Every structure is written in C-alpha cells, then in structure tokens.
A and B are shown apart, each in its own frame.
Chain A
Amino acid sequence: MSAEGHDHGHDHEHEHHHKDTFITKYIFSIDHKMIAKQYLLTGIVMGIIGVGMSMLFRMQLAWPEESFKIFNFLLGDKFAPDGVMTNDIYLALVTIHGTIMVFFVLTAALSGTFSNLLIPLQIGARDMASGFMNMISYWLFFLSSVIMICSLFVESGPASAGWTIYPPLSALPQAIGGSGAGMTLWLVSMAIFIASSLMGSLNYVVTVINLRTKGMSMTRLPLTIWAFFVTALIGIISFPVLLSAALLLIMDRSFGTSFFLSDIYIAGEVLHYQGGSPVLFEHLFWFLGHPEVYIVLLPALGITSEVIATNSRKPIFGYRAMIMSILAIAFLSTIVWGHHMFISGMNPFLGSVFTFTTLLIAIPSAVKAFNYITTLWKGNLQLNPAMLFSIGLVSTFITGGLTGIILGDSTLDINVHDTYFVVAHFHLVMGISALYGMFAGIYHWFPKMFGRMLNKNLGYVHFWVTAVCAYGVFFPMHFIGLAGLPRRYYTNTNFPLFDDLQNVNVLITMFALVGGAFQLVFLYNFFSSIFYGKRTIQNPWKSNTLEWTAPIEHIHGNWPGEIPHVYRWPYDYSKPGHDEDFVPQNIPMKEGEEVLHH
C-alpha cells in the first residue's frame, strides 16, 4: 500500500505549523473535517427550507384553498393573495421540496458530511487525496444552493414541473409559469451541483483506493467506508448522464433544438419542434434518478451498520454478505431505471425486463435487513439516540421497501403509478430512511465533529416524536394512493369521488406539522450543543474504528505523529478473550489470538 510514502509527505508538512487565518480555517478550508461541517450546515439550512415547504403544501392539501396568514407572509401577494395558496405556487413548492430534499439534503449534505468526515479518519489518512478539489466541490455545492434559492424569487415563479422536470412541460414557458426563468436557474443550479458531486465522488474513490493506512485492507474497511466508496462510484457512473440530459434540455429551451420535443401545439400555435421524444428524457433522467435512490440510501445504510454494531457491542452480522449486497445493489441500481416508465409508452417488452431486474434488488435488500436484525440478536444494546435512529431506519427501510415489490411489478404499477401510494413508498424507503441515517450519523459523530456531546434526552424526544409522525404521515398515504388519488393535485375538491379521503388528508397534515415542528428540538440541541454541550471524552461510544483514536481537538493531518496501523477488522466487539467489550482496529492481535470471522 502506498500509505507509508504518503505519511512522510504529510508529516513533513505538518512540522511547518502553517498558520491558519479565519478565512483559510473556516471559509476556504481544505481540511476535510471543516468541509464536512460546512456541508452539514448548508444541508441543515436547505433541509429547513425543504421541510418547511412540505408543511405549507400539506396545509393546502388538508384545508384546500383556505386562507392562512402564513401563506401570504411567506409566499407574498402574487402567490398567496388573501392567504390562499395558488395552484402555481403549490406545484412550485412540491417541485422545489423534491429537488432540495433529494439532491441538496440527502445527496450532498449526507454524503458530503459523512464521506468527508469519515473517509480519511476511518481509513487512516491525513486528509482527502485532493484537499483543494474538495474545497472546490463544497463551494460549487454552495453556489448551486444559492442559485436554487435565488430561483424561488424570480417573477414568473420557481421551477414547477415536478422534481423530475419532464419536458415538454419543463421546456415550454407557455406550458407553465415556472418553466421560464425559474427553470433556467434550476438547470444551471443542477449543472453546477453535478460538477460538485462529481468532484466529491472522484475524491472519495481515489482516497479510499490509495490512502488507506498500513494494514487497512479492503476487507478491513468499516462498512461506512464501503458504502461511501460504492456510493461515489454510482455517482460517477450516473450523474454525468443527468448532466447531459440537463444540457440537452437547455438546448431545447434556448437554442431551438428538438431532442425531447416533437409535434407540439400550444397557446394557439404549432411549434417548430420535430423528431424529439420526451421518453428519451425520461430514460436519461432515470438513468441517474434510480441510482440516485441508492446514492441517498447507501450512505445511510453504511452509517447504520457502524452505529448498530457499535451500540449492540457485537460484530455486524455477515460483514462479507453486507459488502456483497452493497455491490449487488449498486450494480442492479444501474439497470432498473425503466421501472419508473412502465406506462410511459415504451415497448411493454422492456417493461418485462425492468420488472425482472427491479425485483432482484429485493434479494440483497432482504439480506441487509435480516443481517441488521441478527446483529441485534443477543447483543447488549446501548440505546443511544443514534442507535434509535438506526433501528428506526431498518424499520422504515423494511416497511417502505416491501411496497416496492408492488411498484416494481409492471402489472401492479399500472394502477398505482403516480398516485399517493408512490409518495408513501419512496418517502419511507429513501426519504425517511436516509434522513434517519443522517440523524444517526449526526448523533453518533457529533462528538467527533465538535468535541462536545448532544443532549441525549432531547435526542430521545426528537426520535420518538419523529418516529410516530413519520409513520403517521406516510402510512395512511398508502390507503389514499390505493384509492386512486393522483399525486401533485393542488386540491381534490374537483373530484367528489375523493371526498371521503379528505379526513385522511387532514390527519396526515396534523402528523406532518407536529413532526416538522419537533425538528426544532433537534435544531436547538444541535446549535446549543456546539457551544454549550458537555465536553466529550475521546471515544465516547467505545468504538473500534480509527477516528476515535484521533485527538478530540481537530488538527491538520488528523493524528499527531504517526498514523495508527491497523491489525484487525473493525467489528471486534465483545470478542472472547478480551477484558473490554471492544478492541480498536489499531490494537495488535494478542499472541495466539485467532481471527473468528470469515
């Protein structure tokens, strides 16, 4: 391994003790730990916006076209005259909520925070392979966030064609107000976002391959690192395709090409477009869009693996099977995108193929779920808030994943496609699960990030209210979806057929408002603990991984002196023959100690 050579270079640099100014330390930092914190803070801000929007449109769905002062206050006279939300801004809110949550919170903030924080610390590296590129990656992300937020304020309204931005709706300003300047900014923001994501991903991959410390073979990597590594690979494979789709869409919108458009008559005139196909866009979009689900989910599962093993005081069950299933999921995720398009008009034979590949994903997913459950079995569970969120993740991953068997089956998809059933499914399996993974990561590694502990009781309150509300919101949605209620309807009052679903919608909104409001508990805990939390000890969770061997105070290069060497896998918890119930990876094997795992 090249780790040793690398060490020397950094040790040397370290001795120089180069002085940090405020700007190089907090703003244009190239230190992976600071960049991780920057990602997290930006993600939290974006998360507040994204979740806040969902609360607004949930209110509209429960009490359609009723007047709320808060609508007028937040959306203004144009989009909420007299406090009544307009249909245009409803669609915009739905669109931007999806965009922000999927890309900015669960992709960038989740991967960005924990890949950056943990990859160097857990593999025993001084920093990322390219600290400079890492910094650029963050600042491009920041720029794209700023542009996305700016797009909320353009006169014709933000993008409102749904987060999947299918043309022609997204291509023609005549079709919907949001497809004017709002959509342009959306596309520009996403193009920059993709550049940021690619730089981050390349960095993660290179770092994991090249900078592991001595003894850290691939089969001794913590599962977090495996998850981040594979996530980065999927990102590198699929994000460029979205970029090309976005660029072609920009061409169609601004330069008169016809990649996605054909035979269109709108606003009283025939447009010149001919020969393009919106279905092509759907293929390109979902070629990223589906792997994206796993880009969101795998890091959360990686975090969960680590948190569950540590807090169960037990090795993760089936370490190799976990790696194999991560790889299998990653591979399959790139060949299942067509299940979003069963009824798009593509050849039904393609639908058959995609049904087959899609349902295959259930197998590695089932392996993961069962392995988590078996890890709990006969453990000594330390029910810290991070552990609660991890268990919650396994729960929602199962509940949400199981309904995937219905949606992945082309025959059954016919009647539930684009209904609230889909909304319930993907929110549970990737939205809530990934969010739980992110919370688990924050509660677990907060001491590593800030040197202080989060208040556990606030953490408990946060988890239980969130858990009840998450089920309260998304469980009833299955029923209204199965009743045939389409998603993205501003109101259902034009369909007396759906009048009996209104009570359910009110209940869902109640849960959403309470659940959303209780995230303030987390925010308070997070921000007050940064400054006033109890000081942490070096290894509060008695964990085996290398990050806890680094000093609490952050230093450039992570470890003073030599980087620890690794002598064992990361899951020697409660190993027979040891006094403590954990044996960190940097502890050499005792004489006669055997490797007990395979």
Chain B
Amino acid sequence: MTSLLVIIVLVLLAIALWQLTKIFDLTQVGADSNNSQIANDDDNNVQGYLMFGFLAFIYIFTIYGLIKWGHLVLHTPASEHGGEIDNLMNITWVLIFIVQTITQALLYYYAFKYRGKKEQKALYFSDNNKLEAIWSIIPAVVLAGLILYGLYAWTNIMFIDEEEDVMVVEVYAQQFKWTARYAGEDNVLGKANVRYIEGVNTLGVDLADPNAQDDIVVSELHIPKGKKVHFRFRSQDVLHSAYFPQFRAQMNCVPGMVTEFAFTPIYTTAEYREMAFMQEKVANINILRAKKSAELVAKGQPPLDPYSFDYLLLCNKICGSSHYNMQMKVVVDTPEEYKKWLSDKPLLVDEVKASLAPPAPVEGAKVIDSAKTDTAAVSKIAMK
C-alpha cells in the first residue's frame, strides 16, 4: 500500500514537472527556437536570485546544524592527550569556518551580483601575480602553523616512551569479539602466536614463556585512572580497528604484527557518568528508547533496556558480517578498585591447567573438539 502511494506521488510529481516545463516553454513562444534552451536575461535573473538564496540556505543549514546537532559531537575527552587533540581540532574548525563563510559568500554573491544582462560587459582581467601570491602565501603560512602544531601533538601521542612507567595490556581482536590480556606482576606479556591457540588458550599465548606465567585473560577491559596504559593490539583473522572514541584513541589490529597505542585515562567511568552533559545525553537517549520500547511492546516484542553510559571499544575497520556489533565495555576504575578487580581474576596458566584436569562433562566435549584442531596446528608447526 505504501509503495503504491509512493509511486502515485512520484507519478504526480513527474506530471507536475512536465506541466511546469510546458508552461516555461509556452512563455518562450516566438523566441528563436535555436536559442530557446540558452539562458536569457530572465533566466539569469531568476537563477542569480536563486544563487543568493542558496547562499542563505547553506548558512541557515549550518547554523541549524550547529544548534540542533552540535551537542552530539564528542567533547570532554577522557584521556590526557585527548585535550591536545580537541584543542587542535577547535583551532582547525575556527579556520575552516572563517574560510568557508568567506569563500561561499564570495562565490554565490558574485554569481548573483554579476548575473548576465544584455548591456553588461565583462571585465577582461586575465591574471594578477600579486593576487596569486597572496592566496598562495596565506594558506601556506596558516598550514605551516597547523602542520607544526599537528606534528608536535602527533609525536607526543604516538611515540611511546619505553622508559616511562606504563601498564602493558594486550587487546586481542577476532571476528567479532575483543579480549584483553594483562601482563601481570612482571608487566611483560608472554609471547604469543595463533599457532599456539589451543582449548581455553584462545589467544595463542606461548605457555612455556616465563613471561606468560602471570598473564591474565579477561573479556572486559578495566584500566586504572591516571595510569598510562600501553595497549598492544593483535588480530587473529582479519583487520580490525580498536576505536576508543571517548579517549581519542584508535589503532588498527593487523594479523601477523603487533600495533601499539598508549593513553592515560583521566576520568573514571563513574566520574564521566556524573558529568552534566553526559547526564543530559543519557536522559535524552532514554527518552528516545522509552518511545521505541512503547512501540515494541505494542507489537508484542520485549522492550529495550534503559541506557547507562559506559566507555566502549568499537571495531572501526570492516571485518565481516557482524562488524556492526563488535564491541567491548571499557571500565575506568580508581587504582584501588582496579587492583581489587584484577586480584580475583585467574591466571591463564591456571585456567589452562583446570581445563586439562579431569574433565567436567560439558567442558570435556570442548577439549576433545579443540584437540583435533590442535594436532593439526601442531603438525603444521612441526612441518616448518
């Protein structure tokens, strides 16, 4: 029914258009037919005014967007370096707005002001080295400033100081989930390779490596506030991208290599939830969700859960069918909370031991299953 309506509307629109052009054509009866499709003074006049109108449209749309959607944009970064990125971003935005406002105004205003008239004669003005120099040098100077600031910030963010006191965490990507590995007491991750994947050792950690003995594998990422976290990313299958929007951090996860990014969280999850803008955002989202829930319930489906804010790690590189749902909760704790949380997590070596010990019926099935693939993997390793 809806599609029928849409078709009818489209057909009517087409007819209206056709009639409109017929009327336009009729107004030009008697004109030299060969020139009839070339803009005449009337056209220039109408189109000139429309050009001016379009300038207004762009401006109004921009202002409308800033008012209506401005609050959606990420702000208040939750990491130490995030402030630097946002600062550079704001400076860049100011420049962009100035240039955009001026150039669009000139473009459309000239299109309006100099719209063609029979008696008007264009100025023969072919070049002017001074003008060319001005608009080469000004952008060059402005860009030089942006480049220098940008590179300064980039160097600070990306080059991780090995001497610094950092906490090493591995983020491991696979279709379509994230896993984290903590380096434990020694703060050194055990070696790993997909060829070691076996049973509960889903990250392929080399269990013989002394550094691996205190590694802890978890499915929810907790990090302590105020401590620089050195993330090391791995992927077991395809490219993924670890995107932490609130922390202004992103790095691709590449099979066959380890990539890195480091940042220091500065607000705990609880603190970030308390912020006025976040409360407002969450309240707004919950209103939308309540509306949607009412619709769902009316259809006999279960309602949506109310939303409360959490930092997220998203996958931001197309990685397969369920790319759109590859996420992990990130929790920023106070250092004490963090210690407490980590203290009761089992070591990977113990988990592996437990899984190999007298099998419980359900788990046993899993072990046998994976044992098959293990031998395949091992024989392959033996081959090379």
Contacts and interface: CB of A to CB of B under 8 A. Distances in A.
A277 B126 contact: no
Given A314-B123, A376-B111, 16 more contacts: A166-B238, A169-B238, A270-B376, A313-B122, A314-B124, A316-B126, A317-B125, A348-B159, A367-B132, A377-B125, A381-B114, A406-B89, A411-B84, A494-B327, A574-B121, A598-B126
Interface stretch (A170-178, A199-207, A293-301): A170-178
Contact of A457 (B21, B125, B155): B21
B343 interface: no
Among B10, B34, B117, B318, residue most surrounded by chain A Cβ atoms (within 10 Å): B318
Nearest to B50: A464
A269 interface: yes
Contact of B69 (A172, A263, A344, A504): A504
A362 B145 CA distance: 13
Nearest to A503: B288
Contact of B72 (A321, A395, A454, A500): A500
A405 B321 CA distance: 32
A499 B289 contact: yes
Interface string A412-453: 101101110000000000000000000000000000000001
A456 B318 contact: no
Contacts of A315: 124-126
Interface stretch (B214-222, B243-251, B347-355): B243-251
25 contacts: A169-B320, A172-B238, A176-B321, A264-B236, A268-B373, A321-B132, A345-B251, A370-B131, A374-B125, A376-B114, A381-B116, A382-B39, A383-B115, A402-B96, A403-B96, A415-B250, A453-B36, A457-B21, A461-B20, A471-B61, A483-B73, A494-B327, A499-B288, A535-B34, A537-B35
Contact of B143 (A362, A499, A533, A575): A362
Nearest to B315: A486
Contacts of B257: 262, 277, 279, 345
Contact of B323 (A370, A456, A489, A500): A489
B256 A378 contact: no
B254 A88 contact: no
A104 to B, nearest CB: 21
B22 to A, nearest CB: 10
A306 to B, nearest CB: 15
A471 B108 CA distance: 15
Interface residues of A, number: 146
Contacts of A269: 373, 376-377
Contact of A409 (B92, B238, B321): B92
Nearest to A513: B6
A270 B197 contact: yes
Task: Tell me if B's interface is mostly helix, strand, loop or mixed.
Answer: helix
B116 A263 contact: no
A486 B314 contact: yes
Given A415-B250, A418-B317, A497-B312, A380 B135 contact: no
B108 A494 contact: no
Interface of B: 3, 10, 14, 17, 20-21, 24-25, 33-39, 43-44, 47-48, 50-51, 54, 57-58, 61-62, 65, 69-70, 72-74, 84-85, 88-89, 92, 95-96, 99-100, 103-104, 106-108, 110-111, 114-117, 120-129, 131-132, 135-136, 139-140, 143, 146-147, 150-151, 153-155, 157-159, 174-175, 193-195, 197, 204, 233, 236-239, 241, 243, 245-246, 248-252, 254-257, 259, 281, 284-285, 288-289, 304-305, 307, 309, 312, 314-325, 327, 370, 373, 376-377, 380, 384
Contact of A475 (B61, B104, B129, B131): B61
The 10 closest A-B pairs by CB, nearest first: A262-B256, A484-B245, A348-B158, A453-B37, A597-B126, A383-B47, A345-B259, A496-B307, A265-B194, A489-B324
B57 A380 contact: no
Contacts of B48: 381, 383
B304 to A, nearest CB: 8
Contacts of A360: 143
B151 A168 contact: no
B114 A378 contact: yes
A374 B54 CA distance: 19
Nearest to B58: A471
A482 B126 contact: no
Contact of A70 (B3, B120, B251): B3
A371 B147 CA distance: 25
A355 B72 contact: no
A265 B236 contact: yes
Contacts of A374: 125, 131
Contacts of A161: 318
A373 B103 contact: yes
Given A261-B255, A457-B20, A534-B36, A266 B237 contact: yes
Contacts of A414: 85, 157, 248-250
Nearest to B197: A265
A156 interface: no
B135 A370 contact: yes
